[in-house]
Copies of this chain bind each other. A is one copy, B any other.
Amino acid sequence: MTTIKDVAKAAAVSTATVSAVINDSAYVSPLLRARVQAAIHDLKYEPSQMARNLKKGRSELIALIVADLANPFFARMVWAAEAAVAAWGYSLVVFNSDEKPENERKALARIRALSCDGALVVPVGLPAHYAQRDAEGRGFPTVLFGRVVDDRHSDTVTIDNIAAGSQVTNYLLDLGHTRIGSITGPLHLTTGRGRLDGMLQAMAQRGVAPEPGHVRSGEFREDVAYSVAREMLDRPDRPTALYVANGVMALGVMRALADLSIHCPLDISIASTDTISGIGGLRPRLTRTEHPIIEMTNEALRLLVDRIQRGKDKPPRNVVFQPALVLGESCAPLKRS
């Protein structure tokens, strides 16, 4: 490994001069500059980011903790985050909490140990958990993404889940459905609770309410949604329309429908939120609200980088994005029968 000292020796200058050349941080005469550059080139010298970081107290690393790396929604987020982070001159360290608070805790510890400059976190824990972490981690630049657990202390970027739920539900109501069911996400997350609340609000506004057995909560997982759907739909009093809380779950529901020989949209209308991209081949295309995940990720990193570079005294900012209803062919007007 060639160090700055080797270069200094080879160019017959001091390390300070070499450093000045590398970083363009002070005027160096053309003569010396040339000598230094030649030496750098000859010795194939590359400055050690590690030493530099130790001195400067930065690591140029940004951490991303996602709740479920197997979920295409978050995979896409990683994609967007990598691009954004690289554009800001950082590198991306990825962690998967796999929806387990314990893993998230470990990841956060690791992130501090690596002295990452900041973290973008899709939180997994209960609110109480965060209040505590927040007290400890005070001052560590963090942006919470997607699921608000605490909007008083941290920057957050979220989607308006209530709007997502009502948009979809209003559409189903407009098609004449009243027996609308839902397979929800975990209700302690705003992504679960909010979407359900939005649905209930929309229904209440039209004076209808879902039947008890038609609202089942689950997890954001394909297999869980599959089982719940099989159970809920394999009976005569099944709903005529179903709002599924996210894209992965919708896939599980579609699979259940195929197994039960229930035709969508003829026999049942299906709509969801945050449908995963890249499944353009799926027919019928889902009617869903889409989340501008790329813009959301970019905005989150903008906030994060701003906090890293401009300091932590600014008050926390909470950015809320609006979902957009996108029509597929998975919904049909209610058949009179």
Contact = CB atoms under 8 A, between A and B. Distances in A.
Interface in A151-192: none
A157 to B, nearest CB: 20
Interface stretch (A71-79, A201-209, A303-311): A71-79
Given A54-B54, A251-B281, A278-B72, A94 B78 contact: yes
A46 B110 CA distance: 10
A258 interface: yes
B94 A114 contact: no
Given A222-B278, A258-B281, A283-B258, A70 B61 contact: no
> How many copies make up the complex?
2
A79 B93 contact: no
Contacts of A75: 69, 72, 75-76, 78-79
Contacts of A9: none
A273 interface: no
A121 to B, nearest CB: 15
Nearest to A114: B49
Contacts of A145: none
A91 interface: yes
A115 B91 CA distance: 12
A262 interface: no
B54 A82 contact: no
A72 to B, nearest CB: 6
A49 B79 contact: no
Given A49-B115, A79-B69, A79-B75, A255 B279 contact: no
Given A50-B53, A72-B278, A76-B70, A94 B110 contact: no
28 contacts: A46-B109, A48-B115, A49-B114, A49-B115, A50-B54, A50-B114, A50-B115, A54-B54, A61-B93, A61-B114, A69-B78, A69-B79, A69-B82, A70-B76, A70-B278, A72-B75, A75-B78, A78-B94, A82-B94, A82-B95, A91-B93, A91-B95, A91-B114, A93-B93, A252-B280, A255-B280, A258-B281, A281-B282
Given A91-B95, A92-B94, A222-B278, 17 more contacts: A49-B114, A54-B54, A69-B78, A70-B79, A70-B278, A75-B79, A93-B94, A250-B281, A251-B278, A251-B280, A251-B281, A252-B281, A255-B280, A258-B281, A276-B278, A279-B279, A279-B281
Interface of A: 44, 46-51, 53-54, 59-61, 69-70, 72, 75-76, 78-79, 82-83, 86, 91-96, 109-110, 112-115, 136, 222, 248, 250-252, 254-255, 258, 276, 278-283
